[in-house]
């Protein structure tokens, strides 16, 4: 297929405004590409290339290869192909006026007839001298564009920028206006012809007669629109159904919506509860049988970049701890000498580091914690419920004879614990433990849900931060138990109602041991009556408290209860007279 044909289709697609019609145009493009006899013994078929080009990609989404071309390199190449009088600055100036690189490139007259020789030599063609051929293509094939861009991506080391300009110049030099428009956009990742992932999915389904949901599944596991198109064409629905995850090819990460404990418990019988680690998402791919002896380990970021070299600790973890091929989803956290988590910014210092990794590792150590298992020992687990995937994760990570029931043990093993409960109090205490251990809080997950790559669905919820807070007077407390026996632990909260104080709930979460010690010191002098573990406290201290909801409730004297109250801090600047009123509580509830 000629690149001019691709450009023509791209023009039609770009001009189309109706979504359904866009799918039809993309289908036509794919169908035509499918008939291209390009003798692709090596590398992808034209169909695969076209399916990616239409989305503005040169390489599949799972492939970390990039062209690594700055805009300036592209402007230089355009300038050189445009003629001796044109400089990169002129291209940039035009861009400032025109606003879009495709239109800028299409505005020049390129050689069109200079041929491959010019580009191989990297030599200077001059379109200005060749007005007869301006705007015409030199039969540039889609495959050639791909091959040259692949060479360009592979160029590295000294002189590579010059080589990139030369290669790109060679392409532009053979372009018509329309080809130049789409080549420039492709090279700068600015295709923007209105072709999203759903469009290509529907077009593949339509072109090769495969049900959309099957195409969708194949796309999820392969992350490669080109390959799915090719398999759909060559092997039909059976081939598409047979596509599986592959160790070494990253999958898009499942994402979370913001949500509340209330929502989670209303929608699911029980919620899966995990700590939310404050680090960076990683996907670990490990294959012990790749023949190299030590196994093959790849680590990918949330955007599917290969970050293996930056995180040797994760590679060592995989080599020491995994024995079967696996794809694991997790988080990498930075830790201090005691293994306590450090802020997210510390992880970033390590995450994409390319040089001096050993030195960086001395300053900040990272540790992986895994919460999901997408593939183990040849079996894809995406369709399995979370609870089953987590069991598999445990068996992949934990030695069969080890006792992994305590958090410490699991932490060492890089396994994030998954609790399953319908009890809000248990969820609160998991949240408190997570905060106490220096993590971000909790994630709530539907234990029955499959893993949906790339989806920000309702099956994973990050606990929403509180929208509003209330300033409440502390009117009572309870002594803690166990290691917290010397601390006041649960605090009764009240709001003002005229001259009186009316209770609205009790807060026990969001408070570290250190803070409990401080609060005990602050409140103990105000204790008036002690009855067993419970104490009355005279109004003196004001807490700022977050909550999920205000409910009517017979339990408290105000007639309302704060659902999931969380301690935010002491309002030492406020006295009980400045605390919030029942009236404000009622107003907030009505909102
Ligand atoms: P977003 O994902 O919404 O764009 P973000 O990247 O800042 O934003 P959050 O939304 O705050 O992340 O939370 C989701 C992220 O939390 C996940 O992508 C993952 O990196 C991290 N995370 C930490 N612990 C877990 C866990 N147990 N399960 C799932 N994700 C977790």
Per-residue model confidence as pLDDT tens digits over 203-238: 999 999 999 999 999 999 999 999 999 999 999 999
Lowest mean pLDDT among 54-68, 215-229, 247-261, 410-424: 410-424
Ligand 1 mutation pick, 259, 271, 279, 281, max ligand atoms within 8 A of CB: 281
Distance CA 335, CA 347 (A): 9
Confidence of residue 345 (pLDDT cuts 50, 70, 90): confident
* Atom 14 of ligand 1: nearest residue by CA position: 256
Res 532 pLDDT > 70: yes
Residue 338 CA to ligand 1 center (angstroms) comes to 24
Residue nearest to atom 3 of ligand 1 (CA): 256
Weakest mean pLDDT among 69-83, 353-367, 405-419 = 405-419
Nearest CA to ligand 1 atom 4: 255
In this structure, the residue with its CA closest to atom 31 of ligand 1 is: 276
Report the nearest atom of ligand 1 relative to the CA of 276: 24
- The percent of residues in the chain predicted with pLDDT above 70, rounded, is 90
What's residue 134's pLDDT?
A: 44
**Segment among 57-71, 295-309, 348-362 with least mean pLDDT:** 348-362
pLDDT of residue 39: 61
User: Residue 346: enclosing H or E segment and its boundaries?
Assistant: helix 344-351
Query: What integer pLDDT is reported at residue 432 of this predicted model?
Result: 82
Closest ligand 1 atom to Cα of 274: 27
Note the pLDDT of residue 412. 58
Residues of the chain with pLDDT > 90: what percent?
65
State the closest ligand 1 atom to the C-alpha of 275, by its place in the atom list counted from 1. 27
Across the chain, mean pLDDT equals: 88
281 Cα: distance to centroid of ligand 1 (angstroms): 7
The CATH superfamily label for domain 255-463 reads DNA ligase/mRNA capping enzyme (3.30.470.30)
Pocket residues for ligand 1 (CB within 6 Å)? 255-256, 274-277, 281, 331, 371, 416, 443, 462
Task: Give residue 303's pLDDT.
Answer: 86
pLDDT band at 138 (very low <50, low <70, confident <90, very high): low
Ligand 1, atom 19, residue with closest C-alpha? 281
In DSSP notation, 235-269 reads HHHHHHHT----TTS--PPPEEEEE-HHHHHHHSS
Which pLDDT score, from 0 to 100, does residue 117 have? Answer: 38
CA of 107 to the centre of ligand 1 (A): 45
Confidence of residue 113 (pLDDT cuts 50, 70, 90): very low
Calculate how far, in angstroms, residue 258's C-alpha sits from the geometric centre of ligand 1. Answer: 10
| 3-class SS string, 530-571 | EECCEEEECCCCEEEEECCEEEECCCCCCCEEEECCEEEEEC
Greater model confidence, 44 or 524:
524
Active site residue 506: no
Tens-place pLDDT, residues 465-507: 666 789 999 999 999 888 888 999 899 999 999 999 999 999 9
Q: Give the model's confidence band at 98: pLDDT under 50 very low, under 70 low, under 90 confident, else very high.
A: very high
> Which residue minimizes the CA distance to atom 2 of ligand 1?
255
Complex-level ipTM: 0.96
Q: Is residue 130 scored above 50 in pLDDT?
A: no
Residue 462 CA to ligand 1 centre (angstroms): 7
Using left for φ > 0, alpha for ψ between -120 and 50, and beta otherwise, residue 336 falls in beta
Q: What is the CA radius of gyration of the chain?
A: 30
Instruction: State in Å: Cα 331 to ligand 1 middle.
Output: 8
Q: Which atom of ligand 1 is nearest to the CA of 445?
A: 28
Torsion of CA 384, 385, 391, 395, to 10 degrees: 20
| Active-site hit among 276, 349, 458, 515 | 276
- Residues near 241 by Cβ (< 8 Å), separated by ≥ 6? 214, 217, 218
Quickly state the pLDDT bin for 188 (edges 50, 70, 90).
very high
Mean pLDDT of 270-278: 94
- For the segment 309-315, the average pLDDT, to the nearest whole number, is 94
Q: Which atom of ligand 1 is nearest to the CA of 416?
A: 27
Average pLDDT on 393-404 reads 68
| Predicted confidence (pLDDT) at residue 112 exceeds the cutoff of 60 | no
Q: Which of 443, 453, 463, 464 to mutate to test the pocket of ligand 1 (most atoms within 8 A of CB)?
A: 443
For residue 405, give the 3-state DSSP assignment: coil
Annotated binding site, which residues?
274, 281, 302, 331, 371, 456, 462
- In this structure, which residue's CA is closest to atom 30 in ligand 1? 276
Q: What is the pLDDT of residue 398?
A: 65
Flag whether pLDDT at 358 surpasses 50.
yes
Vertex 93, ends 92 and 96: CA angle to 5°? 90
What integer pLDDT is reported at residue 436 of this predicted model? 81
Q: Identify the residue whose C-alpha is closest to ligand 1 atom 16.
A: 276
The helix/strand/coil state of 529 is strand
Q: Name the binding residues for ATP.
A: 274, 281, 302, 331, 371, 456, 462
105 pLDDT band, cuts 50/70/90, is: very high
**What does the pLDDT read at residue 121?**
39
Probe target for ligand 1 pocket from 251, 271, 276, 415, with the most ligand atoms within 8 Å of CB = 276
Say yes or no to pLDDT of 401 above 60: no
Closest CA to 312 of 365, 373, 348, 349: 365
Specify the ligand 1 atom closest to the Cα of 281: 20
Per-residue pLDDT averaged across 391-411, rounded? 64
In terms of Cα–Cα distance, which of 337, 334, 369, 338 is closest to 350? 334
| Rounded average pLDDT over 553-561 | 94
Residue 39 φ/ψ, nearest 5 degrees: 50, 45
This prediction's pTM: 0.77
Burial of 490 (0-12, 13-18, 19+ CB in 10 A): middle
Whether domain 468-590 has CATH 3.40.50.1000: the reply is no
185, pLDDT greater than 60: yes
Q: How confident is the model at residue 291 (pLDDT cuts 50, 70, 90)?
A: low
pLDDT given for residue 125 in this prediction:
41
Pocket test for ligand 1, best of 252, 274, 331 (most atoms within 8 A of CB): 331
- How far does the centroid of ligand 1 lie from the alpha carbon of residue 344, in Å? 12
All structural domains of the chain with their residue ranges = 255-463, 468-590
Kindly give the distance from the C-alpha atom of residue 296 to the centroid of ligand 1, in angstroms, as a whole number: 27
């Amino acid at each position: 297929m000629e690149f001019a044909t691709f450009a023509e289709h791209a023009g039609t697609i770009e001009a189309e405004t109706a979504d359904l019609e866009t799918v039809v145009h993309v289908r036509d493009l794919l169908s035509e590409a499918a008939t291209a006899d390009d003798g692709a013994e090596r590398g992808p078929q034209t169909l695969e290339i076209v399916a990616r080009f239409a989305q503005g990609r040169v390489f599949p989404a799972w492939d970390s290869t990039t062209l690594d071309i700055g805009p300036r390199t592209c402007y230089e190449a355009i300038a050189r192909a445009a003629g001796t009088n044109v400089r990169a600055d002129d291209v940039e100036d035009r861009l400032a006026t025109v606003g879009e690189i495709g239109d800028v490139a299409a505005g020049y007259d390129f050689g069109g007839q200079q041929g491959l020789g010019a580009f191989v030599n990297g030599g200077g063609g001059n379109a200005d001298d060749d007005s007869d051929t301006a705007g015409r293509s030199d039969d540039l094939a889609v495959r050639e564009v791909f091959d040259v861009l692949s060479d360009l991506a592979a160029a590295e080391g000294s002189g590579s920028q010059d080589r990139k300009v030369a290669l790109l110049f060679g392409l532009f030099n053979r372009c018509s206006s329309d080809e130049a428009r789409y080549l420039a956009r492709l090279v700068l990742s600015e295709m923007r012809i209105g072709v999203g992932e759903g469009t290509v999915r529907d077009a593949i389904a339509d072109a090769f007669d495969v049900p959309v949901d099957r195409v969708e599944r194949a796309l999820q596991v392969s992350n490669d629109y080109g390959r799915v198109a090719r398999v759909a064409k060559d092997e039909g629905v059976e081939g598409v159904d047979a596509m599986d995850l592959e160790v070494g090819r990253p999958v898009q990460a499942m994402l979370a919506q913001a949500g509340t404990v209330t929502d989670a418990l209303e929608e699911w019988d029980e919620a899966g509860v995990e700590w939310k680690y404050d680090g960076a998402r990683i996907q670990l791919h490990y294959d012990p049988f790749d023949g190299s002896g030590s196994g093959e380990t790849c680590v990918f970021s949330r955007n599917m970049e290969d970050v293996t070299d930056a995180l040797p600790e994760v590679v060592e973890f995989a080599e020491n701890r995994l024995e079967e091929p696996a794809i694991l989803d997790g988080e990498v956290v930075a830790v201090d000498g005691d293994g306590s988590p450090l802020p997210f910014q510390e992880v970033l210092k390590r995450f994409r580091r390319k040089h001096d990794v050993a030195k960086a590792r001395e300053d900040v150590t990272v540790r992986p914690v895994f919460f999901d298992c997408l593939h183990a020992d040849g079996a894809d687990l995406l369709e399995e419920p979370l609870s089953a995937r987590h069991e598999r994760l445990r068996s992949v990570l934990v030695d069969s004879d080890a006792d992994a029931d305590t958090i410490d043990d699991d932490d060492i093993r890089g396994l994030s614990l998954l609790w399953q409960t319908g009890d809000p109090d248990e969820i609160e205490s998991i949240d408190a433990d997570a905060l106490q251990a220096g993590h971000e809080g909790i994630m709530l997950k539907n234990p029955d849900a499959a893993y949906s790559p790339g989806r920000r669905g309702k099956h994973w919820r990050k606990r929403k931060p509180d929208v509003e807070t209330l300033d409440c007077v502390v009117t009572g407390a309870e002594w803690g138990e166990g290691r917290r026996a010397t601390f006041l632990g649960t605090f009764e909260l009240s709001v003002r109602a005229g001259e009186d104080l009316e209770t609205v709930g009790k807060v026990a979460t969001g408070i570290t041991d250190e803070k409990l010690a401080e609060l005990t010191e602050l409140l103990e002098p105000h204790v008036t009556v002690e009855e067993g573990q419970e104490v009355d406290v005279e109004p003196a201290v004001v807490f700022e408290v977050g909550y999920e909801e205000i409910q009517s409730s017979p339990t408290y004297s105000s007639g309302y209860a704060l659902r999931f109250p969380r301690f935010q801090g002491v309002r030492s600047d406020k006295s009980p007279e400045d605390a919030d009123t029942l009236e404000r509580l009622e107003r907030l509830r009505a909102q």
